[in-house]
A and B are shown apart, each in its own frame.
Chain A
Amino acid sequence: MTFFKTAFLLAKKDLYSELKTKQVLATMIIFAGLVILVFSFAFDPTNNTTKAVIPGVVWVIIVFSGVLGLNRSFISEQRNDTMQGLLVAPMEAASIYLGKFLANFTMILIVEIVAIPFLFLLFNFQMIGSIPYFILILFIGSFGFISIGTFLAALAANSKSSEMLLPLLLFPITTPILIGVVQATRITLTNMGKLSSALAWAQLISAYDVIFFVLCILLIDYVLEV
Chain B
Amino acid sequence: MIEIKKLTKQADNKLILRSIDLSIERGETVAILGPNGAGKSTLLKVLSTIIKPSSGFIKINGLDLKKDYTEIKKMFGYLPHSSLLYDHYSPYENLVFFGKVYGVENPEQRAIELVKEVGLSFFLNEPVKNFSRGMIQRIAIARAIVHYPEILYLDEPHTGLDQGAISILNNVILSMKAKGTTTLMVTHDFKQAAEICDRIIIIKNGKIVDDFRLEERTLNLVTEKYQLQVEGVS
A residues near B (Cβ < 8 Å) are 2, 6, 9, 13, 17, 20-21, 79-82, 84-92, 225-226
Cβ-closest chain A residue relative to B11:
A226
CA A91 to CA B48, docked complex, whole Å: 13
- Interface contact B89-A88, CB-CB below 8 Å: no
- Interface contact B80-A84, CB-CB below 8 Å: yes
Jot down 28 A-B pairs with beta carbons below 8 A, ordered by A: A9-B100, A9-B101, A17-B88, A20-B89, A80-B84, A80-B87, A81-B80, A81-B82, A81-B84, A84-B50, A84-B78, A84-B80, A84-B82, A85-B84, A85-B143, A86-B101, A87-B49, A89-B73, A89-B98, A89-B102, A90-B71, A90-B73, A90-B101, A90-B102, A225-B51, A226-B45, A226-B50, A226-B51
Known contacts A20-B88, A79-B87, A82-B86; is-contact A87 B50 (Cβ 8 Å): yes
- Excluding A17-B86, A85-B85, 19 further A-B contacts by CB distance (< 8 Å) are A2-B103, A13-B86, A20-B88, A21-B88, A80-B84, A81-B80, A81-B84, A82-B84, A82-B86, A84-B78, A84-B82, A85-B84, A85-B143, A87-B50, A89-B73, A90-B101, A90-B103, A92-B70, A225-B52
Asked if B188 is at the interface (CB within 8 A of a chain A CB), the reply is: no
B interface SS class: loop
Chain A residues whose C-beta falls within 8 Å of the C-beta of B73 in the assembled complex: 88-90
Asked if B170 is at the interface (CB within 8 A of a chain A CB), the reply is: no
Q: How large is the interface on B (under 10, 10 to 19, 20 to 34, 35 or more residues)?
A: 20 to 34
CA A91 to CA B143, docked complex, whole Å: 16
CA A225 to CA B74, docked complex, whole Å: 19
Q: Which of A13, A81, A89 has the most CB of B within 10 A?
A: A89
Cβ-closest chain A residue relative to B70:
A90
Chain B residues whose C-beta falls within 8 Å of the C-beta of A17 in the assembled complex: 86, 88-89
Asked if B123 is at the interface (CB within 8 A of a chain A CB), the reply is: no
CA A151 to CA B49, docked complex, whole Å: 21
The interface bits of chain B over 95-106 (1 if a CB of A lies within 8 angstroms of the residue's CB, else 0) are 001101111000
Chain B residues whose C-beta falls within 8 Å of the C-beta of A9 in the assembled complex: 97, 100-101
Tally A-B pairs: CB < 8 A: 63
Asked if B192 is at the interface (CB within 8 A of a chain A CB), the reply is: no
Q: In angstroms, how far is the closest chain B Cβ from the Cβ of A193?
A: 51
Contact residues of B between 92 and 126, Cβ < 8 Å to A? 97-98, 100-103
Q: In angstroms, how far is the closest chain B Cβ from the Cβ of A139?
A: 29
CA A158 to CA B143, docked complex, whole Å: 25
Known contacts A79-B87, A90-B70; is-contact A85 B98 (Cβ 8 Å): yes
Asked if B229 is at the interface (CB within 8 A of a chain A CB), the reply is: no
A80's partner among B71, B74, B82, B102 (CB-CB below 8 A) is: B82
CA A91 to CA B86, docked complex, whole Å: 18
Chain A residues whose C-beta falls within 8 Å of the C-beta of B88 in the assembled complex: 17, 20-21
Chain A residues whose C-beta falls within 8 Å of the C-beta of B71 in the assembled complex: 90
CA A150 to CA B49, docked complex, whole Å: 23
CA A218 to CA B50, docked complex, whole Å: 18
Asked if B83 is at the interface (CB within 8 A of a chain A CB), the reply is: yes
